[in-house]
Amino acid sequence: MVSGGAGFIGSALVDRLLETAGRRVLTVDKMTYAATPASLERARANPNHQFLQADIADAAAMRHAFASFEPDLVFDLAAETHVDRSISGPMPFVQTNVVGVATLLETAHAYYERLPQATRDAFRFVHISTDEVFGALSESGAFTEDTAYAPNSPYSASKAAGDHLVRAWWKTYGLPALITNCSNNYGPRQFPEKLIPLMIVSALNGRPLPVYGDGSNVRDWIYVEDHVDGLIAAAKHGEVGERYLFGGRSEVRNLDLVRSICRELEAIRPSGGRYETQIAFVEDRKGHDFRYAVDDTHTRTRLGWAPQHDLADGLKRTIKWYLDNESWWKPLLEQTDVPKPPQGRLP
């Protein structure tokens, strides 16, 4: 069972489970603006896939999902994830990322308690979170499994609350749960409000490329297929109650990342000019964290996992996908408030 399975990471995980694990998969998704039916196109053609449109905060719907599908493995990816949206409207984040997680945990625990012993031993609840729950880093260091929580936005605070609930259901009730925290994901089928797809589609449409502040904020990037391989490894080989951090070891300043996208686009889809001239520096985000990075040594050692794509390769794959799949993202630009900031200038 994959909650949030029609979203970016969720749909990649659903595809990977169907391709490699030989399992039946139930996708549960509320189908908010960030869920894209086309992202499940391959899954829907697979007889091992089922879909349920439902909110994880709907207890009756979750009881029905567990009773009818009888999962032995739950991946919880359902979440509101966009920081800017959490600043302008935090309550949907609390509803999904806190109330929804608590509802899903309570339902999973009641279901787990009724399982036969052999099935109970195999059951796992994998909660997917973010490195933003740990707050911000200075120019050095990295988050580890033992880093204290210090969220700085309504989004990261709501995700931190969800993490704490998962730990509580493990410690108090014995629900066999694991928590994973990842750095910034990118890849095909990411909603175009996120940085990398926003830069790609904005460049192609001749729009400004909005960069917060002076673009010096640093992020670590992980290709989505590497992340979902890690999630499957955690479900198979991870220890109950443990935390696993997934990073790409690909740190880069936001401005440098945008410039790299521009150069790659110029090589593949020249426009007659330089895409970099479309860069627009905009007012910095409130509470903008300077840097995120994770030390995934523990995860690599325990799970035998490592990313297979570096940032240069992943960006090429991602840009090519958006160039080849305009029919996927163009309708999204018409139905959502993708930012259109005023033109800025290079420093």
- Domains of the chain and any CATH numbers: 2-190+221-252+293-310 (3.40.50.720)
- In order along its 347 residues, the chain shows pLDDT tens digits of 999 999 999 999 999 999 986 789 999 999 998 888 999 999 999 999 999 999 999 999 999 999 999 999 999 999 999 888 999 999 999 999 999 999 999 999 999 999 999 899 999 999 999 999 999 999 999 999 999 999 999 999 999 999 999 999 999 999 999 999 999 999 999 999 899 999 999 999 999 999 999 999 999 999 999 999 999 999 999 999 999 999 999 999 999 999 999 999 999 999 888 999 999 999 988 878 899 999 999 999 999 999 999 999 999 999 999 999 999 999 888 765 544 443 444 33
CA distance 175 to 201: 43
pLDDT of residue 347: 37
C-alpha dist (Å) from residue 302 to 60, 177, 209, 315: 37, 16, 40, 28
Which of 291, 268, 289, 282 shows the shortest CA–CA distance to 200? 268
- Residue 9's nearest CA partner among 294, 319, 230, 241 is 230
Q: Are 166 and 311 in contact (CB under 8 A)?
A: no
Q: Nearest Cα to 67, choosing from 126, 114, 5, 117?
A: 114
Query: What gap in Å lies between CA 199 and CA 86, rounded to an integer?
Result: 21
Q: CA angle 273-278-279, nearest 5°?
A: 135
- Confirm whether 132 is a catalytic residue: yes
111 noted as active-site residue: no
Instruction: Report whether 23 contacts 48 (CB < 8 A).
Output: yes
Take residue 333 and report the two structure tokens written for it.
Answer: 């630009």
Among residues 131, 193, 264, 296, the one annotated as catalytic is: 131
The residues, ordered by sequence, that sit 6+ positions from 262 with a Cβ below 8 Å of its Cβ are 199, 203, 209, 274, 275, 276, 278, 279
Q: Which member of 29, 55, 76, 132 is catalytic? A: 132
Name 308's bridge partners. Answer: none
The strand ranges marked E within 106-196 are 124-130, 177-182, 184-186
Active site residue 223: no
Q: Are 322 and 201 in contact (CB under 8 A)?
A: yes
The closest of 106, 120, 26 to 72, measured between CA atoms, is 120
Question: Is there a contact between 14 and 27 (Cβ–Cβ < 8 Å)?
Answer: yes
| CA dist list (Å): 73 to 27, 125, 260, 304 | 12, 6, 39, 20
Among candidate residues 111, 112, 155, 275, the one labeled active-site is 155
Encoded tokens for 232: 């499957």
Q: How far is residue 268's CA from residue 126's CA, in Å, rounded to a whole number? A: 39
Record the tokens describing residue 310, joined without a space: 């570096």
